[in-house]
Amino acid sequence: MAESKSKVLIIGGTGYIGTYLVRASIKLGHPTFILVRSPTPSDPAKANLIKSFQDSGVTVLKGDVDDRESLVAALRQVDVVISSVNGEAVASQVKIVEAAKETGTIKRFIPSEFGNEVDRLEIDFKVLEGVFQTKSSVRREIKKSGIPYTFVISGGFAGYFVSNLANDNVSSPPRDKVTIWGDGTTKAILNTEEDIATYTIKSIDDPRVANKFLHIRPKENTLSHGEVVALWEKKIDHNLEKTVVSKEELRKIIEETPFPANILHAIRYSIFVKGDQTNFQLDDNDVEATELYPDVHYTTVSTYLDQFV
């Protein structure tokens, strides 16, 4: 008999990456729950999103990470918790750990990571301390709790770093000129949101990924900024005018740009200049998604760019 699929609660399911996680969870056949602060939001786009989830069979629970009672009640209904919260709620995830300890039934907790491996990089800019150090402290609390976990190290989202060639104020790859961060040769890892969500959901019932870091590192998607731009130039069959922003110039931009606009620059520095996504080797605590799940036909950066030609 086929094993039953875990029931999954996604906290942050109405957010950017959360929406992909909910869709992947449904697609892979998991009974799917979301915890939302407002089940009937005034924002019509969010209301429509929640309605579309409900139409697909998602159970919508009202609650808040900061409301213990709602959290415990939600956790009692599921086996696995995935969090994709943002901002201040990243710190509040310790309350999810506390609630999971209270219920004692959570088989896996996947906290809101979906980015760089924050314990294997040096934080260069104060602006990144908040979120990186908080993610790290949440990890420590999860490990202490004994609740099985997976930390998803996803690389950069394609919608943030590929659809615009990591440039400002464009929603599709530019056709005339482009800014290159650093010398353009540092390797980054860039994945589509759909693939990140698929690998995350595939991992939740997989014992090989319990208490591990799940890295999503397709070889074809391990590319420098210069290589991404070159792929695009080949597709549109002409070269872009390039403005190179040196490492030193980017540092100055980060220091002079007010918060929160400086966050994105600091992340660009981390991934395209310093190489924080690729400058460490995987070890015994790490597993790699494309090796674990060769059946997933992930989207390469090249294929992703095709939609914009």
Ligand X SMILES: NC(=O)c1ccc[n+]([C@@H]2O[C@H](COP(=O)([O-])OP(=O)(O)OC[C@H]3O[C@@H](n4cnc5c(N)ncnc54)[C@H](OP(=O)(O)O)[C@@H]3O)[C@@H](O)[C@H]2O)c1
Q: Would you tell me which residues interact with ligand X (CB under 6 A)?
A: 11-12, 14-18, 35-37, 46, 64-66, 84-86, 89, 92, 112, 114-115, 131, 154, 156-157, 160
State the nearest-atom distance from the C-beta of 196 to ligand X, in Å. 8
135 is catalytic: yes
Pairing of strands 222-224, 187-191: antiparallel
CA dist., res. 298 & res. 195, Å (int): 6
Q: For the sheet with 32-36, list strands across it.
A: 59-62, 32-36, 8-11, 80-83, 108-110
Pick the catalytic residue: 95, 135, 202, 212?
135
State the nearest-atom distance from the C-beta of 30 to ligand X, in Å. 18
Question: To the nearest 10°, the Cα dihedral for 193, 196, 198, 203?
Answer: -160
CA dist., res. 15 & res. 32, Å (int): 15
Residue 208 CA, distance from chain mean position: 20
Alpha helices for the chain (secondary structure H): 16-27, 44-55, 68-75, 88-103, 126-145, 158-161, 193-203, 225-236, 247-256, 261-268, 289-292, 301-306
State the nearest-atom distance from the C-beta of 37 to ligand X, in Å. 4
Q: Nearer to ligand X by C-beta: 112 or 179? A: 112
Q: Nearer to ligand X by C-beta: 131 or 305? A: 131
Q: For the sheet with 156-157, list strands across it.
A: 156-157, 187-191, 222-224
Cross-strand pairs, 179: 243
Does residue 162 contact residue 220 with C-beta atoms inside 8 Å?
A: no
Residue nearest to ligand X as judged by C-beta position: 15
Q: Nearer to ligand X by C-beta: 260 or 294? A: 260
Q: Nearer to ligand X by C-beta: 50 or 245? A: 50
State the nearest-atom distance from the C-beta of 136 to ligand X, in Å. 12
Q: Nearer to ligand X by C-beta: 9 or 89? A: 89
Q: Residues of 255-267 as b/e, b for ≥16 C-beta within 10 angstroms?
A: eeeeeeebbbbbb
State the nearest-atom distance from the C-beta of 244 to ligand X, in Å. 23
**Catalytic residue positions, numbered:** 135
